[in-house]
Structure 1
């Protein structure tokens, strides 16, 4: 009996110890859980502190950048387009951009558009012509018989319904077309020009092989009836681009200024370029002071296009260079590279200066008598290519 009581006492003791251990383990788990919660809260608080300080540092840095960019230099002068290729001008109230090809102002950045260049005939059988009024640049140079031919340059962001008549290529025009990495549209060409095109340097669109991008008009006889349009040129460009032949618009840009109406200008009412005046190929530019632009006449008459539009230019550059006849057909060789004398007509003024073109891919540039590069009026520029100063009459 005594032993039985002892066993009951031991069992009771064991039961108490068991309850004690359970309670102890429960308290230990609670303390451990509380410790983990505290640790997690500390880590979260530390991360919040780090994010707060990082945000504060970023906010301070942004404020300093805004202060140094705008606070210290609110009156910046306009920047030339050699600094920013889109001709960005900064004023106190707004940022003005310029079109890379025309120099016209815009409130938005204008990326360099692709350029299309088209050989346009200027013989009497081709008159009246089409599409020249939409070109941002036209280069006029003589071919056989000293009859001038136009190389008209179009920005790909301009719509032109009809361009032409389109005629054949000559080698010197290739040098001007290639400085824009332009799509060069023509109908055949001289042997020398076609050999140069075959070398692969020119982004070529020959009507002989790409006839679907041209059409023949029924209102005149061949070969004076081939035309194209900006839509067809764009289609040709996209087709060649998809085949990997398109050229990136890596051309250099000219500098432009604001188009101002001069109050005092040199009295030069008109300038004539004597290509072949006996046969009606005397080009005359007449200055209009009220519009600060030049109107073109051909052999003393208004030079009207097929749509009734007249030809106007905001700048005229006369390039004087070496021109020689190289065969019995009358093909000419014109020096396009290097430098030479030039006459620039702008704002009613005559500027005696020079031209320079260092390589085929470099832009043709013009300079004044102090060797400062010409800054052009925005709009349309015509370049007249002649061999002697005597071919220019004031």
Structure 2
């Protein structure tokens, strides 16, 4: 608008000059006016190609950033949820505010079906005396378990599994030879065969003793509160597992669609891979391994075979066993229908067992629950 006004004024001046001067002077004056107007317009509306390019780049970058924000928001856990350090999966936020809980579960045929073990994040299965196995089931969210059992007695090497996870160890009775070991090692244990019996346990009258002792998350927490053990996890406690990110399929060195583990003459554990669900289903005693709470077969995402020296304890009249749980050895990691050779190492009583790949790096496993089979040296596991 300002330049239009100037143009009119300049035109009037030119007309005035016509009356006073010749045509040549008028043409020169008009040319000057056009030149000044052009310069004025350029100053008023400069066209900067670099600026336009920068603005377009900023717009594109803003769109990309916006997409990144959306992706990040999709990865954020729901409100009230946190990452379970035992599985890498979401769990109630309150559940990670305390230590895990490890519970000894009876695994005799007459004790089946067990209750609550499908909710375990980690299950250790290993031999006890007489060719039987017991399950040391580890839970981060123990409060959500409504019925758990049958609960059975402790053995010396079970304590190492609990220490691996800095867990409170729950059992009903114990090997007499380890009665003082709890105190010596500083293991936080809750023994139901004590004054804690009615606080922590009950008997299911539909089951025959000794396969009738049960507990649950609420009662375990009450017993824990009664004894007053530390609730917070040790800040310097190194967790046993690192987890893969994303949904990449584990690339092993051999097929493992079916895994058969002959623990003894009495029991063979089997895991069969379900490609649709991407988990292994568990069988033993030639039948499905069922959780009575759900009526469904047990499943696991990961399986670890850990080989070590398991031996009968000298002088034990009941044939009880012990094992070299501190040391190192070989193993196998199994997931997604595949397997690969690994190694394991436990450097001290309070140091968690670590697992390593073929290159000596810490083993990364898939997110999900894990079944750890601790086996005698020379156990011939078959893979199909």
How far residue 106 of structure 1 moved from its aligned partner, in angstroms, is 7.5
Q: Give 1:30-41 correspondences, 5 Å limit.
A: none
Secondary structure (helix, strand or coil) at the match of 1:140 reads strand
Given that residues 250 and 366 in structure 2 are in contact (C-alpha distance below 8 angstroms), is that contact kept between their aligned partners in structure 1?
A: no
Residue 320 of structure 1 aligns with which residue?
A: 307
Change (3 A) 1:298 1:110: closer
Q: Distance in 2 between matches of 1:106 and 1:156?
A: 7
Q: Distance in 2 between matches of 1:386 and 1:329?
A: 20
Q: Tell me the TM-score normalized by structure 2.
A: 0.72
Question: Could you tell me which of 229, 232, 240 is aligned with 2:227?
Answer: 240
Residue 272 of structure 1 aligns with which residue?
A: 260
Given that residues 135 and 380 in structure 1 are in contact (C-alpha distance below 8 angstroms), is that contact kept between their aligned partners in structure 2?
A: yes
The reply on whether 1:149 has 2:134 as its aligned counterpart is: yes
Given that residues 323 and 334 in structure 1 are in contact (C-alpha distance below 8 angstroms), is that contact kept between their aligned partners in structure 2?
A: yes
How far residue 304 of structure 1 moved from its aligned partner, in angstroms, is 1.4
Given that residues 113 and 156 in structure 1 are in contact (C-alpha distance below 8 angstroms), is that contact kept between their aligned partners in structure 2?
A: no
How far residue 391 of structure 1 moved from its aligned partner, in angstroms, is 3.2
How far residue 234 of structure 1 moved from its aligned partner, in angstroms, is 1.3
Residue 17 of structure 1 aligns with which residue?
A: none
Q: Give 1:289-328 correspondences, 5 Å limit.
A: 289-307=275-293, 308-326=295-313, 327-328=316-317
The reply on whether 1:119 has 2:119 as its aligned counterpart is: no
How far residue 264 of structure 1 moved from its aligned partner, in angstroms, is 7.7
Residue 175 of structure 2 aligns with which residue?
A: 190
How far residue 328 of structure 1 moved from its aligned partner, in angstroms, is 3.2
The reply on whether 1:375 has 2:361 as its aligned counterpart is: no
How far residue 223 of structure 1 moved from its aligned partner, in angstroms, is 1.1
Q: Give 1:282-361 correspondences, 5 Å limit.
A: 282-307=268-293, 308-326=295-313, 327-361=316-350
Q: Distance in 2 between matches of 1:312 and 1:156?
A: 18
Q: Distance in 1 between matches of 2:137 and 2:95?
A: 21
Residue 354 of structure 2 aligns with which residue?
A: 365
Change (3 A) 1:200 1:228: same
Given that residues 134 and 158 in structure 1 are in contact (C-alpha distance below 8 angstroms), is that contact kept between their aligned partners in structure 2?
A: no
Given that residues 101 and 167 in structure 2 are in contact (C-alpha distance below 8 angstroms), is that contact kept between their aligned partners in structure 1?
A: yes
Change (3 A) 1:320 1:110: same
Question: Could you tell me which of 182, 202, 211 is aligned with 1:215?
Answer: 202
Secondary structure (helix, strand or coil) at the match of 2:144 reads coil
How far residue 233 of structure 1 moved from its aligned partner, in angstroms, is 0.8
Which 10-residue stretch deviates more, 90-99 or 367-376? 90-99
Secondary structure (helix, strand or coil) at the match of 1:188 reads coil
Residue 101 of structure 1 aligns with which residue?
A: 86
Given that residues 287 and 294 in structure 1 are in contact (C-alpha distance below 8 angstroms), is that contact kept between their aligned partners in structure 2?
A: yes
Secondary structure (helix, strand or coil) at the match of 2:365 reads coil
RMSD (Å) for aligned C-alpha atoms = 2.8
Question: Could you tell me which of 129, 132, 135 is aligned with 2:117?
Answer: 132
Encode CA deviations 1:69-113: one digit per residue, 9 max, x unaligned: xx9xx8xxxxxxxxxxxxxxx959765663222201479898553
How far residue 236 of structure 1 moved from its aligned partner, in angstroms, is 1.5
Given that residues 140 and 148 in structure 1 are in contact (C-alpha distance below 8 angstroms), is that contact kept between their aligned partners in structure 2?
A: yes
Given that residues 257 and 338 in structure 2 are in contact (C-alpha distance below 8 angstroms), is that contact kept between their aligned partners in structure 1?
A: no
Change (3 A) 1:338 1:263: closer
Encode CA deviations 1:156-200: one digit per residue, 9 max, x unaligned: 465011111101100000011123332211111112222212436
Secondary structure (helix, strand or coil) at the match of 1:176 reads helix
Stretches of structure 1 that go unaligned for 5 or more consecutive residues are: 1-70, 75-89
How far residue 206 of structure 1 moved from its aligned partner, in angstroms, is 0.7
Q: Tell me the TM-score normalized by structure 1.
A: 0.71
Residue 204 of structure 1 aligns with which residue?
A: 189
